[in-house]
Amino acid sequence: MAWWSPVTHLYGVGGNDTTPATGGWETVAGTANELHYEDDRVAVSDGGPMGLADGSVVWLVGDVYGFDDREIGGSAGHSPRPTATDPLEFCVTVLDRYGEDGVRGLNGDFLLVRYDPTASRLSFVTDRLSSVPLYHARTTDGDLVFSTNVQDVAVHPGVETGFDPGYLHEYVVFKRTLGVKTPFEGVEELHPGSVTTFDLESGELRTEVHWRPRHRPVDRPFEEVVEEFTATFTQVIEEWTADGGEYGVLLSGGSDSRLILGVLGERAVGLHMTDWTNREARAAKRAADVTGARFVPLPRGGEYRTGSLERNRHLSGFSGWFTQPYTTGMEEEIRGEVDGLLSGLYADTLFKRFSLPERSLSMGPLGRLTLPIERPIRTIPEYIDWLIEGAYCEPELPTDLRSVLEENVYRDEGKVINHGVSYDSIEEMVYYGNLYPLSNDDDLLFQHGLTRITRYRTPFLDDRLIDLALSMPIEYRHRKNLINRAVERLDPELAAIEHPHTGVPLTWRFPAEYVARSLVAAWRKYVHEEQPPKPYMTNGPWLDDSELIRSNDFLGEAIERYGDNARALPGIDRTTLDRYYDEHRDGANRLVELYTLMTVLSMPATESIARKTTEEMARESPVARPTCADGGDDR
């Protein structure tokens, strides 16, 4: 079944003479650079290229769902890719028919690379959100190195890089990068929704942005939005599963995955990652039983989590932590159960309150209560204030966070620029900055881990649903719940199951649901909560990593193994890392600093930079040879 591209990783070099540059280059996983295409100017690995009618060569990483000719002035609308048609073949057909303009109509999560030998040009096409990011840097000879893994670029022998103090600071406090910047000096991501061309003769790199998130709310009743959303969502799922395969839903106890279950019903397999039979697992099992779906638990526990650093250190970038490819290590179990995977990722960011600035109310000793009322962000200083308020920690680093943000967020020629990404307005940067590009969201690593297991999609990244999200009034995200209403419309019995976090059914309306979940949270916190069998286990979907660090020495062992790589980081040394660990074990909360730093320190690319740092220090401060006067042999 040709459902998605089997290529999940692409890397290469382009320039006037690339052959010497590729020699001996290895990936961060240590595999040899096996070239699938090479001439005297371009060398590309990990991709099966396909030719166009004009003689150019095309590579595809990811998936293409269909084509909408309205994006290039047509009127036919969206046409799904036939299931039996290979995604790369589909893209080549579009390019042959419409030329390079045709890429604007491609719907999917993909990266497209095109090499035109006649024009001596490389072109890189990102989808709307750059859901398959491509990182790039220049070598000392001016060649362009590119890869879907940021670490591959940093370890290329022709790339000179280290850690940028400001962008590293941002990653530590936000658990993600911003815009197209990375903590590796000189290494950036391509702009989302763009076509970037590299002239192999002149070395010029030019980017044309063909899509930005533009919020154009349509004033209409909420029930109309629910009706359109439910119909569109159902259409997307039905198109994707028309081949009759067995599809797994990454089933939590919440509403996003329930929505997929509401469409598939008994055709689905509910895959639930579980640590024990907690409230979340029981809700997921009930949801599967109500719809007739087969329920398959995927046990995890403490040992699974403690092994995640070694499993994922080659995958890690700067989007989240080493823990976040949550399904790595479960490949055989998942492939043995299903033909493909679906998840509810990014529903929160597109259709709910997540990532929106909201007003809050002081509750005295009880803290602050977040209100479902928009907090207007109309100026860049207000935006920077809001970002800093959301920082997860205050590490001891030599850079000033506010200064770094002020240098990277500004206005230019009518656009708002945020770390190299352009928006039409501050509001659109606020509303959609967590998804544009997708590397700004710390779930990207989760998604990339899933693509390596089997055919995988999340319906919320379909362009038709993105367009609907952009047309929805923002107040509906604050005080309505589109996902809950759609589940209720599809299967009222499924919606009647209590949400394990809020404690109330999905059928409850705002403000009753808002008040009830606040009361439930207070009851669980101050009166009674079901106790898990281990202190690091919870009643939610994830482990309590703060307790896991105190209950297990896996992080201490990792610090012993990788801690000395801290010599590559500006402002962080091994002593600081050890102190953070000791403070956390003694009861302080240093989780964010520890997990973020260990994500970086365990990267093979960081090992490479640390090794070069040591070699440079040795060259700059050579150890004096002993002379005869010192008792040495000075022959």
**Amino acid at residue number 547:** E
Give me 570's structure tokens: 């500006």
Contact 136, 145 (CB under 8 A): yes
* CA–CA–CA angle 445, 167, 315 (5° rounding): 25
Neighbours of 492 (CB within 10 A): 13
- Over its C-alpha atoms, the chain yields an Rg (Å, rounded) of 25
Average pLDDT of span 560-571: 95
Mean pLDDT of 283-296: 97
- Specify the pLDDT at position 626: 44
Task: Give domain status of residue 595, yes or no.
Answer: yes
In terms of Cα–Cα distance, which of 181, 186, 210 is closest to 418? 181
Q: How far is CA 248 from CA 267, 287, 386, 487, in A?
A: 9, 14, 38, 18
DSSP class of 238: H
Dig out the tokens for 262 from the structure.
């509401």
Asked whether the beta carbons of 178 and 408 are under 8 A apart, the reply is yes
Q: Are residues 62 and 100 in the same domain?
A: yes
Burial 63-72 (b: 16+ CB within 10 A, else e): bbbbbbbebb
Find all residues with CB under 8 Å of 155, minimum gap 6, and list them. Answer: 26, 28, 604, 605, 608
CA distance 134 to 301: 34
Q: Residue 470: left (phi > 0), alpha (psi -120 to 50), or beta?
A: alpha
Q: Measured between alpha carbons, how far is 467 from 216 in angstroms, rounded to an integer?
A: 9
148 or 511, higher pLDDT: 148
Nearest to 64 by CA among 32, 19, 106, 24: 106
Q: In this structure, are 375 and 326 located in the same domain?
A: no
Residue 591 lies in a domain: yes
Distance between alpha carbon 420 and the CA centroid of its chain, in Å?
18
Predicted local confidence at residue 28, as pLDDT: 78
Domain-located, residue 632: no
Q: What is the per-residue pLDDT across 363-405, written as a single tens digit (0 to 9) for each? A: 777 677 788 899 999 999 999 999 999 999 999 899 999 999 9
Whether residue 294 lies inside any domain: the answer is yes
Range of 189's domain? 11-209
Q: Token digits for 620?
A: 């700059």
Instruction: Pick the last residue of a domain from 382, 404, 432.
Output: 432
Burial degree of 317 (CB within 10 A; 0-12, 13-18, 19+) = buried
Distance CA 613, CA 282 (A): 51
Q: Please list, in sequence order, all residues whose beta carbon lies within 8 angstroms of the beta carbon of residue 633, skipping any fewer than 6 positions away.
A: 626
Single out the residue in 432, 451, 483 at which a domain terminates: 432
527-531: Cβ within 8 A, 24+ apart: 530/278, 530/279
> What residues contact 531, with CB distance under 8 A and at least 6 apart?
none
Instruction: Confirm whether 628 is domain-assigned.
Output: no
The dihedral built from the CA positions of residue 618, 619, 622 and 628, taken in this order, carries a sign that is: positive
Q: Is the pLDDT of residue 2 over 60?
A: no
- Statement to judge: residues 181 and 310 lie in one domain: no
Evaluate whether 51 touches 91 at the Cβ level (below 8 Å): no
Query: Exposed/middle/buried for 73, CB within 10 Å: 0-12, 13-18, 19+?
Result: exposed
Q: Does residue 626 fall inside a structural domain?
A: no
Tell whether 299 and 445 lie within a shared domain. yes
In the chain, the percentage of residues whose pLDDT exceeds 70 is: 93
d(CA 397, CA 379): 27
Q: Is the pLDDT of residue 619 over 90?
A: no
| Domain CATH number, residue 257 | 3.40.50.620
Residue 247 sits in the same domain as residue 188: no
Q: Are 170 and 162 in contact (CB under 8 A)?
A: no
Distance CA 623, CA 630 (A): 14
Q: Is the pLDDT of residue 631 over 80?
A: no
Residue 168 falls inside a structural domain: yes
Verify that 556 and 516 share a domain, yes or no.
Answer: no
The per-residue pLDDT for 468 is: 98
Q: How many domains does the chain have?
A: 4
Q: Cα separations (Å) of 38 from 89, 168, 215, 375?
A: 21, 35, 43, 53
Residues 241 and 329 in one domain: yes
Q: Which of 432, 449, 471 is the last residue of a domain?
A: 432
Q: What is the CATH number of the domain that holds 57?
A: 3.60.20.10
Given a cut of 90, is residue 165 above it in pLDDT?
yes
Measured in residues, the chain has a length of 635
Name the nearest CA neighbour of 205 among 122, 307, 305, 127: 122
Instruction: Report, in this order, helix, strand and coil percent for the chain, each rounded to 5.
Output: 40, 20, 40
pLDDT per residue as tens digits for the range 502-529 = 999 999 998 888 888 888 888 998 899 8
pLDDT score for 623: 52
* Pairing assessment for the beta strands 121-126 and 194-199 based on DSSP bridges: antiparallel
Are residues 176 and 168 in contact, defined by beta-carbon separation less than 8 angstroms?
Answer: no
Residue 413 near residue 424 (C-beta atoms within 8 A):
no
Q: Taking residues 5-13, what's their average pLDDT?
A: 77
pLDDT in tens, 35-62: 678 888 998 886 678 888 889 999 999 9
Q: Confirm whether 315 is domain-assigned.
A: yes
Q: How far apart are CA 501 and CA 517, in angstroms?
A: 8
| Judgement on whether residues 76 and 201 belong to the same structural domain of the protein | yes
pLDDT of residue 40: 87
- CA–CA separation, 409 and 420 (whole Å): 8
Which uninterrupted H or E stretch holds 477? helix 474-479
If asked whether residues 50 and 17 sit together in one domain, one would say: yes
Across 316-344, average pLDDT = 94
Distance between CA atoms of residues 482 and 631, nearest Å: 82
Together in a domain, 36 and 167: yes
d(CA 528, CA 338): 39
User: Which of 57-71, 215-229, 265-279, 605-619 is the least confident region?
Assistant: 605-619
Given a cut of 90, is residue 32 above it in pLDDT? no
Residue 24 is predicted with a pLDDT of 52
pLDDT range class, residue 434, cuts 50, 70, 90: very high
Strands 35-38 and 42-45: antiparallel
- Contact between residue 425 and residue 216 where contact means Cβ atoms under 8 Å apart: no
Q: Same structural domain for residues 382 and 286?
A: no
Q: Distance from CA of residue 14 to its chain's centroid?
A: 26
Same domain assignment for residues 386 and 249: no
